[in-house]
Structure 1
Amino acid sequence: MDITRLSPDDAAGCAEAVALLIATHAVDCPGALLSTPTGYSADLRYGWDLDPGRTYLAREADGSLVGLLHVNTPTYDNTNLVWIEVEVHPERRGRGIGSELVRYAEQLAGELGRTSMGLTTWDLPKAAAFANRHGFEQKTVGVNRRQDITTLDWSTVQKLYDEAVLAAAEYEVIRIVGDLPEEMLEGMIAVTASINDAPKDDLDLEDDVFTAERLRAYEAARHGHNQTMYRVIARHRTTGELAGHSVVTVERERPHIAEQNDTAVSRDHRGHRLGALLKTAMLLWLRETEPALTQLDTWNAESNNHMISINEQLGYSVVARSLEFQKSL
């Protein structure tokens, strides 16, 4: 088997990778949101915040693509970590291809001096058995929920928004499309870092480290993905402190698809229903500005009861569950 790194400039290779993902997800998780070849290339070039991962293509002797290995090697924080995803074509499973890709990833991790490896799989018995066989231990469960905008009860959204406005009377809501104004950048560092309070369960992870440069890198990556960023920010009326935010991106290639990138409230400002305020304010805004939008996806740890409660009130339904494993190298 030949394993080679995929370049974001390789349009044919990116199309092949997406075709393999379509085949694997048809079996493993039919409802999951997948990238287009253009989006896949952008992810390899820009990543989440200009810290992109790598994809490796596994081909048999005849050149047919039988497997994918995606490797993330963080550079902002958790620099001891490698995180991988392994995909094997359904018609080629049971032949040791996945195991060979894990061994390849471990060799790469050793060359990079990384000492911990994570693996994400779908919540399937065979996937869990595969992870356990390679020495991984399950650490947490992630849940993908989707909001069907076409059937959304807008009266419920408005009611939740109105109730949150009363509870959060000390705060004003700011709408921003695209990049943050320079004068808000420093204040948003602490707000963004509030995501570190979300449950990590048993994962051995350092907190994410945010800087002004990293926030700008995230924005640059969204532009590279050809996505429109919508931000709703809560600001304390008296002190001017930024208290929380919600960020949603809408694809321009597929404007019916949006993804929740973040929702976080600073610890000092919790207890005022700001999470509900931000998420409902975002929905009401998207209703005005994105008429083609039909679905909004979000991910949470299964143990994040507070955010899940808000999502369920807003009509989200479960699309998929992922298992996250980790081991020391």
Structure 2
Amino acid sequence: MHLDWLDPHTLDQRDVDAVTALREAVRRVDRPEDLPTHARAVGAELRYGWDLDPGVPALARDAAGRVIGLLEVSTSRWDNHHAAHLDVTVDPSARRRGLGRHLFETGLDRARSQGRTLVTAAGWQDTPAVAFAKAMGLDRASAAVRRAQDLWTLDWARLDQLDAAAAARHADYEIVPIDYPTPEGLLPAISELTAAINDAPVDDLDIEDEVFTPERLLGFEQAQMARDRRMYRLVARHRPSGDLAGHTVVTVEVQQPWHARQQDTSVRREHRGHRLGLALKIAMLRRLAAEEPQVRVLETFNAASNAHMIGVNEALGYRPVGRIVEWQRHLVPASPA
């Protein structure tokens, strides 16, 4: 087995294709209900990460030069400078040979060398990821539930009733669209809206609040568009003050246009209690029905402990379709040379 560290900024398309094939092989075995993998999204993820802050990938090749494993070590330049996220992927044909452990331990070494004192990992429950995480000495720290709804079977009469009941609570607010890329003059205000997500529960994860700047916000938008996603944002504006109080963001997959993802819904603390989250989500459903009528599935993730947002989503018709477990392990810093 040979391990190659790659520069995410100078990737060879053959390596992108190899990672795409690897992930698709894993999807078919571990999560066949998930969307098929496609090379454009994989290439954009490897090159740009979530917000132009990509992780560093390493490919494991067998004697024939085929990619049978992938290690990704991700760190943030914005926040949580004590942490590194490790993602290990092993081809089903190469499992139970120690390759996953070797890749994980390689990731630990890299994290220690960078002064990181915490590693995190995530994996779907009811897949080999759970047993692997435990074997690697990781502790369960949090869980997130993926929910989905079929937009072609929405109960619009019920949604209209929910919307009308909520409207009395936010008469001083209006919901308006914001185009992408975000206009320069709105970047500071939208960054503040995005930071409101820090109030969502993180359970036992030993992490700090995320830092959202205009630069990071634009990086997120560029990275999502590179993955071939159309983006939609609605904001709630407080009429008396002009303040932006909350927003909701959805992306639609260009290559799989029946599928959309809820990226964020957050309301600033001083504007909560007006049912703005519910109103924003219903307004987004209407917008998707008008502008993306082919979308069938809209999915969202919430911490399993986020009772408030789960209640909102289930009232809208979302139902659980999977659970991801987040794991962590504290490290002893590397000794000085």
Q: Which TM-score applies when normalising by structure 2?
A: 0.92
What value does the CA root-mean-square deviation take over the aligned residues? 1.8
Return the alpha-carbon distance in structure 1 between the equivalents of residues 284 and 165 of structure 2: 15
Aligned-pair distance for 1:292? 2.0
Indicate the residue corresponding to 1:2 in structure 2: 2
Q: Is the 8 A contact 2:69 2:90 kept in 1?
A: yes
* Of 211, 218, 232, the match for 2:220: 218
Aligned-pair distance for 1:34? 5.1
Given residue 210 of structure 2, which amino acid in structure 1 is its aligned partner?
A: D
Indicate the residue corresponding to 2:80 in structure 1: 78
Given residue 94 of structure 1, which amino acid in structure 2 is its aligned partner?
A: R
Identify which range, 178-187 or 204-213, moves more after superposition.
178-187
Identify which range, 239-248 or 118-127, moves more after superposition.
118-127
> In the TM superposition, what are the counterparts of 1:34-183 in structure 2 within 5 Å?
35-124=37-126, 126-183=128-185
Indicate the residue corresponding to 2:34 in structure 1: 32
Please list the CA deviations of residues 109-162 of structure 1 after superposition, one character each: whole Å capped at 9, or x if unmatched.
123222210111211374323212222111001111122222222333333222
Measured at CA, do residues 278 and 27 of structure 1 come closer, stay the same or move farther in structure 2, by a change above 3 Å? same
Q: Is the 8 A contact 2:75 2:81 kept in 1?
A: yes
* Of 311, 330, 333, the match for 1:328: 330
Q: How many residues align?
A: 329
Identify which range, 44-53 or 12-21, moves more after superposition.
12-21
Aligned-pair distance for 1:181? 2.6
Given residue 269 of structure 2, which amino acid in structure 1 is its aligned partner?
A: R
Aligned-pair distance for 1:253? 2.6
Percent of paired sites with the same residue:
45
The reply on whether 1:312 has 2:302 as its aligned counterpart is no
Indicate the residue corresponding to 2:260 in structure 1: 258
Measured at CA, do residues 252 and 129 of structure 1 come closer, stay the same or move farther in structure 2, by a change above 3 Å? closer
Indicate the residue corresponding to 2:304 in structure 1: 302
Return the alpha-carbon distance in structure 1 between the equivalents of residues 100 and 128 of structure 2: 12
Where does the alignment leave 5 or more consecutive residues of structure 2 unmatched? 332-337
Aligned-pair distance for 1:227? 2.1
Given residue 49 of structure 2, which amino acid in structure 1 is its aligned partner?
A: G
Task: Find the residue that maps to 2:246 and give its secondary structure.
Answer: strand
Measured at CA, do residues 232 and 9 of structure 1 come closer, stay the same or move farther in structure 2, by a change above 3 Å? same
Q: Is the 8 A contact 2:30 2:127 kept in 1?
A: no
Given residue 184 of structure 2, which amino acid in structure 1 is its aligned partner?
A: E
Q: Which TM-score applies when normalising by structure 1?
A: 0.94
> In the TM superposition, what are the counterparts of 1:262-301 in structure 2 within 5 Å?
262-301=264-303
Identify which range, 284-293 or 5-14, moves more after superposition.
5-14
Return the alpha-carbon distance in structure 2 between the equivalents of residues 151 and 23 of structure 1: 32
